[in-house]
Amino acid sequence: MPEQNDPHQPHIQAGLELPAEKKIYFNGFASAIGQGDTLIVLLEDNNPVALLHASHTIVKTLSLKLAEIINTLESKTGRPVLTTDEIVASLSQEQQ
């Protein structure tokens, strides 16, 4: 959860209070780039569940903020979080 002095705390709290039909779980994504924006299709079990359409500036800012969250998690736990590409590569090596 965010720190108490986080300026986004009200947004986080409001998001947590959304009705179930407005909450989206995803465990994969597909992305594409356009001239002025980026498309991200959120996937659950390889099925599309939502489309995000955002400016390149917002997508870059989001990627940096998400990286901060993962870096904090890895630092506090002392363990790396594997990407899906790393997991697939590891599993395919085991099968050889």
- Measured distance CA(41)–CA(88) in Å, rounded: 20
pLDDT in tens, 33-87: 999 999 999 999 999 999 999 999 999 999 999 999 999 999 999 999 999 999 9
Rounded to an integer, what is the distance from CA 32 to the centroid of its chain? 15
pLDDT on residue 7:
84
- pLDDT confidence of residue 2: 52
Euclidean distance between CA atoms 95 and 19, whole angstroms: 43
pLDDT of residue 3: 58
3-state secondary structure of 68: helix
Counting DSSP H helices and E strands in the chain, the numbers are 3, 3
For the residues 2-30, what does the mean pLDDT come to? Answer: 88
